[in-house]
Structure formats: structure tokens, C-alpha cells
Amino acid sequence: MSVSIISIIGLGYIGLPTAAAFASKKKKVIGVDINEDTVNTINDGKIHITEPGLELTVNEAVNKGYFKAVIEPEPADAFLIAVPTPFFPQQDDTYPKPDLSYVEAAARSIAPVLNKGNLVILESTCPVGTTELMAKLLAEERDDLSFPHTHGEDSDIRIAYCPERILPGNVISELIDNDRVIGGMTKSCSEAAAEVYKIFVKGNCMSTDSRTAEMIKLTENASRDVNIALANELSIICDELGIDVWEMIRLANNHPRVNILQPGPGVGGHCIAVDPWFIVSKSPNSANLIREARRINDNKPHWVIEKVKSVIKSTIHEKKINSIKDISIACYGLSFKANIEDLRESPAISIVSYILEMHQGKVLVVEPNIEKLPNHLKKAELTDFNNAAKKADIHILLVDHREFQGNQPLRGEIIDTRGIWNDR
């Protein structure tokens, strides 16, 4: 199969770097996004998201004529769908349900421009069975073409599920170097998809079927969630028992077959806190550990807030302070993890929002990666480390940014949710 034009549907955190990676290998890339501002920004050689090194690659690709962004899909040899798969807000007491409307809309949007011999790859994280669902949907739209679920190896269109595995903050190198799972609906679908990824991927392209590939992606993130839940549960138990959980984990990890992850204020981002629900939604009666891990990680911010309340109480008592208004609280870090500026689904944000609601005194926020606070945190004051460290009575470390490592406030009470200041 010869691939000279590749179309990427969805130019977000995954689609945009992927488009740039193909274009950097001198492939003609047509990026499609429903957002006109995104399309215009990219065609100006700029980017609408933050990722180290990405703007330069996109700028070069656009200027050299290998990459353009458009609103409506155009014919291509291969189509790669990388649109969001959020979940619907939980409406009953069961579990959040996946919202596949963006995948469906993307599939319907490419259907009119599909031609015999095309390859369609789904990259969005999805519940098991979504690739087959997409094939059926495309077949509904195009009864003049044949698809793998009815025609197997003889189909006109090839379809594969190939999950992304890149880590925000290190996208460019992980995109190129990580191994890829290639889940073709047939063997030739896998072969065609592997050929496309090999254009820029230096890692191995490992073939399987589409359902296994979908489950692999969900398992990777659920595995991390479950392991973080163990660390978070241990942090609560150790707190009750007066044990330093970080020292305990460090020494336990000295065992050759133990590797406990790090506790924190909760699990954030748009992947690990979401994807395990896609497993639960397919197998609600069997996914017990996975569901419980989600519950433990979702509850961790509430536990931190209870800690803050109790430290406020003891500070009032010990310092004989008359009014809670005289207590100032500093929160260090807002992003969902260290050394990035991404605030989406951040447990630090939920904790700071709650503190702002309940606390009548001053709230200072130190977040070296942003220039202004999000609107709903406007009641707080964004400041630098030294000012907060000097002025606050209570210091809450929420993100282990490099700026906070080995640099801790010398006065006041400390709540360290990441274990980098506990050596005072």
C-alpha cells in the first residue's frame, strides 16, 4: 500500500504532534479540526496547546508546505482519528459512561471522502468494540464500499485501532521512540497500519486484533491507576499509624520484585482518571478492583482537605489566633502533575477551589508554570515561592515541580502531599 497523503482528524494533544511527525518525514498531511481558531492558528505556523518543541516542528511543516489544517475532510490515503472520548457526567449511582459522540462524528465526516484502498485508524482511547462500531457506522454511510467486519481480508477499506502512549510533557520523543500496538480488524489491516506508523516510529510496531488493542490501552492506564491507588491508600494508613509513607515506600521498593508508585493529592489529567471507567462500563460486575481504585484516587483530594481543616484548627489553638481570617494559607502547584502547565482535571485545582470556598483568610498560590490564575480561583493571589514561604501560616505542597524540590518554607505548618518537604 502506498501512502502519500495522510489525514489526521482532531488536532489536539495527540493529533497535532502526530500530524507534525508525519510531515517532518515529508509526507503530505491534511489536519482536520472542527475549531476554526485551531485551524487558523496552525496554518499560521503556531500551536494552540503547550508542548515543548512542538511549535517549531509544526512551524517548519507548515512553512515547507507538508502540513495544512482544514475544517472539512478531504480525500487521502490514510485517515487517523484522534478526537476526545470523555465520559458523561455521572447521572446515577453506577459509574460514568463513555461519550463516543466525537468518534462517531469524525467517522461520519470522513465517510463521504473515502475511496477504495483507504486505511482508517482509530487512535482515541475507547471502550472495547468501538473500532468494530466505527466500521459498521462507515458501512452504513457508504454502501458502495466493503469493510472488514463483513468482507474480512477482501474489504475495500482497511481499519485498525492503534492507541497512543505518549506522556504529556515528553510527547515528541515518546511519539517517535515508544513501541506501538497495532490492532488491525484483519491481518492486512494491521500490516497497512504498521506501514504507516513506520514512517516515523522508531519503536517496534506489534500487531494484534482491534479488540485486544483497545483493551491494552485501557489496561495500561488502569494499571497505573490501580498502582497509584495502592500508594494513596498506604499514605492514609501510614498517616494514621504515624509512619512516613515515602520512607516506607522507598525501602519497600528496595525489594527486587516490589515497585510501589508515589502517593499524591489525587490522580489528575484526562487519561488515567477517565480510561478505567471505560473498562467498568463494559464489565460493571467484574471490574471491582479497577472501580475501587478509581474511588480511592477520586477521594484523595477530600482527605487532603480534611487534613487542611484539622491543621487550621490546631494552628488557631496553638498560636492563640482570634480569627480564622488572620490565618494565611499558601498552596504550591496547580497543574495535574509536575513540570507542566496543564491544569485540566487537576486534583490541586479542586483542593484550592475548596480552600477558597471554606477559608476566610488569605490564600496564596505559587504555580511557576502559569502567568494568571483561572477565573474561578481569582479570589486567591498568585505569587512567587519566596513571598508565600515568608508570609503563610500553613503551606500545602500539591505538585512536586522542580522549583519546589529542595526548597521548602522555613516557618509555619506544612502539609506535603508529594513527599518532597518531609525532611525538615
Residues labelled as active-site residues: 217, 271
Which of 24/125 has CB closer to ligand SAJ?
125
Say which DSSP state 375 is in. G
Q: How far is the CB of 84 from ligand SAJ (least distance, A)?
A: 11
Task: For residue 211, give the 3-state DSSP assignment.
Answer: helix
Contact positions vs ligand SAJ (CB under 6 A): 125, 164-168, 220-221, 224, 228, 261-262, 264, 267-269, 271-272, 336-337
Which of 139/293 has CB closer to ligand SAJ?
293
Cα separation of 88 and 239, whole Å? 35
Count CB atoms within 10 A of the CB of residue 410: 8
Cell 494559607 -> residue:
329
DSSP letter string, 160-172: EE----PPTTSHH
Q: How far is the CB of 369 from ligand SAJ (least distance, A)?
A: 14
Number of helices and strands (H, E) in the chain? 14, 15
Which of 149/270 has CB closer to ligand SAJ?
270
Cα separation of 176 and 259, whole Å? 27
Strands (E), 14-106: 28-32, 67-70, 78-81, 87-88, 97-98
Which of 110/334 has CB closer to ligand SAJ?
334
Say which DSSP state 212 is in. H
Which of 141/303 has CB closer to ligand SAJ?
303
Task: For residue 415, give the 3-state DSSP assignment.
Answer: strand
Give, for 179, the enclosing helix (H) or strand (E): none
